[in-house]
Amino acid sequence: MPHQKLFSEIPSVDEILKSAYGIEWLRDYPRKIILKSIRGVLEQKRKEILNGLTPRLDIDRISPEIVNAIRLNSSYKLTPLINATGVIIHTNLGRSVLSDKAIENIARTAGSYSNLEYDLKKGKRGKRYSHIKEVLRELSGAEDALVVNNNAAAVLLCLNTFAKEREVVVSRGELVEIGGSFRIPEVMKASGAILREVGTTNKTHLADYENALCGEAALLLKVHQSNYKVMGFTEEVTAEELVKLGRQYKIPVMADIGSGCMVDLAKYGVSGEPTVQQIIKAGVDIVTFSGDKLLGGPQAGIILGREKLIQKIQKNPLLRAMRIDKLSLAALEATMMQYIDEDRAVREVPTLRMLTEPLESIRRRAGRIYNLLKKTIGSKAAIEIKKDLSRAGGGSLPEIDFPTFVVLFKPFKIPVSKIEGNLRDGTPPVIVRVKDNAILFDARTLQDREVRTLIDCVKTAVA
């Protein structure tokens, strides 16, 4: 058997560890990671031999492979990347990028003890929710505020608090699936509430709600349609009308508005999303939304509304299971403080900045990318700047196109799919849009400080 001879040439783990390479690795990396990497590479060699190959087996030859394995095994699996897709709130890519202020506040709070649940004035136990309450009230106009882990938790908690074993009236046009298996009927079931659907997919009238109120209804619920839009022959009941009805029948009205925009984007030419302030002003009793969609903060579920109702939620034992952690709280407080000066929020909160960035400024960034690509790899691909459209993403503003500039990249020899894969495989990975057999880099979701890195990554991907 020719195998046998080759197998006997495989160096032992111990031999490799005691070699000059091994000694060097042991200086820089944990022993466990080195062992795992050596074993992995040796296993690979055994497989190659079994497959009839004759790999070189001396330590000098296999050490580069072990180094690669060590690097891979000691790197983090969760890693930053460059989002060139033009989808601003990209759920798969971590939704909102935090502002510098939020990041600083996480670091500041994480590295030391804090008054998370301690009342410094009274010198005794306090509530983690109290830190954020004031700023949320001031910004939104709501009576009271509470923050949990995410909006899905917020909705579940509210339904469970106000409507367990009782009916919640919802329009059939709002029984949506957000993605990631968050579906209103199923959340309702999990909360213990009973779904009472009214109206039709395209039209729901005030009378439909009213007819459902004679029985056991505990809550009127309005849900943001998130990532889809009903168009054409449609009718929905406004928050104001629903509030009026709720008052008449003494039934609270809740709105899950999904994104929770706190800046009137109409000023920046982006219409179609009511602000949190408008919903509160309409008199809705309980409003829930995400912290990391249009708000541009950390993952969180924000609940605003009447003081009496918020206090009732605070007594629900489920709250403990959904509580926000201190790092998210630190990030959220810093982000909300930025909103006190709206112009500043628009400049400094990345999600808002990307949503409102003037086209001219996007064009400049695209121009910079274009020039650098032309200079470094212009001989390997056709490169041009084109007008295109970005998306808000995250189920926000689904029907709105954001005009943008992309750098279009069409390699002469290497297939587009190969380069797309290489970019994904890079350090850092670059995620792009592929359209009409070309790679698009959307300048809207690229940060100025990422441009140099992006160019290096493209250079490597086509090499």
Ligand X SMILES: *Cc1c(COP(=O)(O)O)cnc(C)c1O
* 223 is an interface residue for ligand X by CB under 6 A: yes
Q: How far apart are CA 345 and CA 339, in angstroms?
A: 5
Q: Which of 144, 256, 357, 450 binds ligand X (CB under 6 A)?
A: 256
The two tokens of residue 98 are 């935090």
Q: How far apart are CA 336 and CA 99, in angstroms?
A: 11
Q: How far apart are CA 300 and CA 149, in angstroms?
A: 5
CB 278 within 8 A of CB 140: no
* 224 is an interface residue for ligand X by CB under 6 A: yes
- In 259-340 the beta strands, taken as DSSP E runs, fall at 286-290, 301-305
Pick 273 or 388: Cβ nearer ligand X: 273
Q: How far is the CB of 299 from ligand X (least distance, A)?
A: 7
**Identity at 295, one-letter amino acid code:** L
Task: State the residue number with the nearest CB to ligand X.
Answer: 258
Q: How far apart are CA 461 and CA 418, in angstroms?
A: 9
Q: Which of 100, 88, 92, 142 is nearest to 270 (CA)?
A: 88
Pick 152 or 462: Cβ nearer ligand X: 152
Classified as helix, coil or strand, 182 is strand
Q: How far is the CB of 156 from ligand X (least distance, A)?
A: 9
Q: How far is the CB of 187 from ligand X (least distance, A)?
A: 8
* 284 is an interface residue for ligand X by CB under 6 A: no
Q: How far is the CB of 294 from ligand X (least distance, A)?
A: 10
Q: How far apart are CA 65 and CA 451, in angstroms?
A: 31
- The piece of 12-20, 203-211, 220-228, 420-428 that touches ligand X (CB under 6 A) is 220-228
Pick 224 or 353: Cβ nearer ligand X: 224
Residue 394, Cα to own-chain centre: how many angstroms?
A: 7
Which residues are CB-contacts of 239 (< 8 A; sequence separation ≥ 6)? 222, 253, 255, 274, 279, 282, 283, 284
Classified as helix, coil or strand, 298 is coil
Pick 63 or 150: Cβ nearer ligand X: 150
The two tokens of residue 178 are 């957000």
Pick 256 or 333: Cβ nearer ligand X: 256
* 182 is an interface residue for ligand X by CB under 6 A: yes
Pick 34 or 295: Cβ nearer ligand X: 295
Pick 187 or 373: Cβ nearer ligand X: 187
- The piece of 146-154, 357-365, 407-415, 445-453 that touches ligand X (CB under 6 A) is 146-154
Q: Which of 302, 301, 292 is nearest to 88 (CA)?
A: 292
Q: Which of 258, 260, 298, 305 binds ligand X (CB under 6 A)?
A: 258
Q: Which of 226, 328, 351, 422 binds ligand X (CB under 6 A)?
A: 226
Pick 140 or 150: Cβ nearer ligand X: 150
| Interface with ligand X: number of residues (CB under 6 A) | 14
Q: How far is the CB of 153 from ligand X (least distance, A)?
A: 7
- The piece of 124-132, 138-146, 223-231, 445-453 that touches ligand X (CB under 6 A) is 223-231
Q: How many CB atoms lie within 10 A of CB 277?
A: 17
* Contact code string over 351-390 relative to ligand X, x by CB under 6 A: ----------------------------------------
CB 191 within 8 A of CB 353: no
Q: Count how many Cα atoms sit within 13 Å of the Cα of residue 21 in the half-sphere of its side chain.
A: 19
Q: Which of 63, 160, 275, 290 binds ligand X (CB under 6 A)?
A: 290
Q: Which of 98, 178, 373, 400 binds ligand X (CB under 6 A)?
A: 178
Q: CA dist 333 to 38, 223, 266, 350, Å?
A: 47, 26, 25, 16
Q: Is the dihedral of CA 122, 103, 286, 266 positive or negative?
A: positive
Cis amide linkage into residue 403, ω under 30° from 0: no
Kindly identify the residues of this chain, within the stretch 318-347, that bind ligand X according to CB under 6 A.
Answer: none
* 301 is an interface residue for ligand X by CB under 6 A: yes
Q: How far apart are CA 162 and CA 93, in angstroms?
A: 34
- The piece of 44-52, 149-157, 209-217, 442-450 that touches ligand X (CB under 6 A) is 149-157
- The piece of 5-13, 62-70, 150-158, 359-367 that touches ligand X (CB under 6 A) is 150-158
Residues that bind ligand X (CB under 6 A): 150-152, 155, 178, 182, 223-224, 226, 256, 258, 290, 301, 395
